[in-house]
Amino acid sequence: MTANELIGEMFNTPKDLRHRAEAWFGELFVPTEVTETGEHSVTVILSPPGTGRIVVHAERERHWYPYRITGVETSDEPHRSPARRRASWVAGARGMPRVPS
């Protein structure tokens, strides 16, 4: 499944989206990170192994309705969370080996 084929797919929670992504991409685990949430919208970053990151934008009509994917953005760069970048910098400042990129 390509990223653009995700548009129109539905899910209930970010965890549900992760499980669906694991099935879509044939992976045992797909890291996810929720970057924005609102009462009727959510933005989630999927990072399937071996590919770049996929930013998923989804909306729902009511807070009890499932989310529908309305847009996706792709990037060739793997996603690194700010916490991981910070951990790498702190480790290097203390003379410890840096966390690999």
| Digit-coded pLDDT (tens) for 63-93 | 999 999 999 999 876 545 555 544 544 445 5
Split into its structural domains, the chain has a count of 1
At residue 65, φ and ψ (nearest 5 deg) are -80, 155
Residue 18 inside a domain? The answer is: yes
How much of the chain, in percent, has pLDDT values that exceed 70? 75
> Is 99 within a domain?
no
Q: Is 49 within a domain?
A: yes
Domain around 82: 3-93
Predicted local confidence at residue 51, as pLDDT: 81
Q: What is the mean pLDDT of the chain?
A: 83
C-alpha 16/C-alpha 20 separation (Å) is 6
Q: Which DSSP symbol is given to 90?
A: H
Task: Answer whether residue 43 is part of any domain.
Answer: yes
Give domain status of residue 70, yes or no: yes
Residue 101 maps to a domain:
no
Please give the backbone phi and psi of residue 86, each rounded to the nearest 5 degrees, phi first.
-65, -40
Structure tokens, 18: 């992760």
Q: What pTM does this model have?
A: 0.73
For residue 7, pLDDT over 90 is answered with: yes
Give pLDDT, residue 19.
96
